[in-house]
Amino acid sequence: MLNQVKDYIQQHALFDPATDTVLVAVSGGLDSVVLLDVLHRLGVRLAVAHCHFGLRGDEADADEQFVRKLAKQYEAPYHAEFFQTKAFAEREGISTQMAARLLRYQWFEQVRQQHGYAAVATAHHRRDQAETMLLNLTHGTGLAGLHGIQPKNGHVVRPLLGLGRDDLYDYLVENRLIWREDASNDSPVYQRNRLRLEALPVLRDLNPNLDNTLAATAERVGGAEEIVRRYVADTAAQARRDEPEATYFNIATLQNTAATALVLHELLRPFGFSWAVSKEIAGSFNSLSGKQFDSPTHRLVKDRAQLVVTPRRLAQYGTFQLTQGQADLLADGLRLRASEHPRAGYEVPRSRSTAALDADKLQFPLTLRRWREGDWFMPLGMRGKKHLSDFLIDQKVPLNLKDEVRVLTSADGKICWVVGFRVDDRFKVTDETARVLQVQRL
């Protein structure tokens, strides 16, 4: 079996076993315990990641302790995260299973980036592939759902996907490995469990070779999807524009494609939009601006001749302060860098991402916050005040980007900079300025 996995890794270019360090997702169950041992025996440098979803009480605590000891046994760095899964699911209006999936893959990628791991390995195998294909077909799906789980998706890899569950169990017994059984795997509450326990046995009576048949079907469907993918990529090259704040799609270009709704869905699938919502979006092309659509992770707004896609923030931005002499401020992904300069010889930058402020007119600490209805300021070059809501309309800021606009205020409450847009005229640098506070959005 070791050679099978080694060949599979090489065939699908999952990672380089000789040089790469791989983060292995380990629940403590049979599949992930086998994955960890196989990769260890193949000489792969490993780290272990374990998710505690706060759903199974003492049993989940025992799982975490078991995986912690397992990582120590394999002399692998150990990473664990304790999630408030139910609270997150309720806040986002999604199922507990969807919440757990979003949380774990988001966290895996954070750990991978933070520690420089080459890939995240999960223990999906051929039976998981069959279950996923049939579950997707039951719910309704496109080509991507019919080919099921991919050997490699971004930095997530599945080295065991070419093996059956019986192969894993035989390996476990042969090597006398210990694992923990998750009682929730037999609970009929979860759809996947009902499919596994009730529907699949009937289908295997009709076709004892069902898992292999579905794996071959997935391979053929994957080839058809590659043809579609290339067409979609050509369309994206013409219609899509990526900016730091959002992704834009040109509606006129999309309308000229064959099977517009299908192409649009393929373009929007990475942002979490379903087929049904993608059809609604395509149907809105000739409607008025401002129509809004949400996926679990992103928001899309039809804005004039374009679609604007932005991430949905999973946590609301709060209020953050910049004290005098402080160089950096990190606020939920937005980074500001402040530096003080003498006025003599200082040239005011023309970039909208940098504010040059008269330091002596500021009162510290400065506060970074989201803009609010009723906010006003005096845009640079104007004598009168302007409501920020009107200013953003004048700037043609799409609806979903308005929620991301921040203001930097002096301690007296006055807005000194609408971040990324305009300095307040009251704080501008003049010939009388002695000290300049430069604040840059990185």
- Going residue by residue through the chain (442 aa), what tens digit of pLDDT does each one get? 999 999 999 999 999 999 999 999 999 999 999 999 999 999 999 999 999 988 888 888 999 999 999 999 999 999 998 888 888 888 888 888 888 889 999 999 999 999 999 999 999 998 888 888 888 788 777 776 676 788 898 999 999 998 988 899 899 999 999 988 876 666 666 677 788 788 888 988 999 988 888 888 878 887 888 888 899 999 999 999 998 778 999 999 999 998 899 999 989 988 888 888 999 999 999 888 888 898 878 889 998 899 999 887 644 435 678 888 888 887 766 789 999 999 999 999 989 899 999 999 999 889 888 888 889 999 998 888 999 999 999 998 887 788 788 999 998 889 999 999 999 999 999 999 999 999 999 8
Q: Is 31 known as a binding-site position?
A: yes
Q: Is 223 known as a binding-site position?
A: no
Rounded Cα distance between 212 and 369, Å, is 55
Q: What does the pLDDT read at residue 242?
A: 92
Rounded Cα distance between 406 and 404, Å, is 6
Rounded Cα distance between 65 and 250, Å, is 51
The length of the chain in residues reads 442
Q: Is the pTM of the predicted complex or chain greater than 0.75?
A: no
Q: Is 54 known as a binding-site position?
A: no
Specify which residues 422 forms β-bridges with: 418
Q: Is 116 known as a binding-site position?
A: no
Rounded Cα distance between 305 and 247, Å, is 14
Q: Is 167 known as a binding-site position?
A: no
Pairing of strands 406-409, 415-418: antiparallel
Q: What does the pLDDT read at residue 183?
A: 64
Q: Which tokens belong to 226?
A: 């590659």
Q: What does the pLDDT read at residue 54?
A: 86
Q: Which tokens belong to 413?
A: 């409450």
Dihedral, 39, 44, 46, 49 alpha carbons, nearest 10:
-40
**Cis preceding-peptide flag for 296 (omega within 30 of 0):** no
Q: What does the pLDDT read at residue 220?
A: 85
Q: Which tokens belong to 100?
A: 């757990």
Q: Locate the DSSP E strands across 102-203.
A: 119-121, 152-153, 156-157
Q: What does the pLDDT read at residue 365?
A: 86
Alpha carbon 92 to chain centroid distance? 14
CA distances, 267 to each of 148, 150, 230, 234, 289 (Å): 18, 18, 12, 11, 20
Q: Is 28 known as a binding-site position?
A: yes
Rounded Cα distance between 88 and 361, Å, is 43
Domains, in order of start, for the chain? 1-222 (3.40.50.620), 244-311 (3.30.465), 320-441 (3.50.40.10)
Q: What does the pLDDT read at residue 314?
A: 45
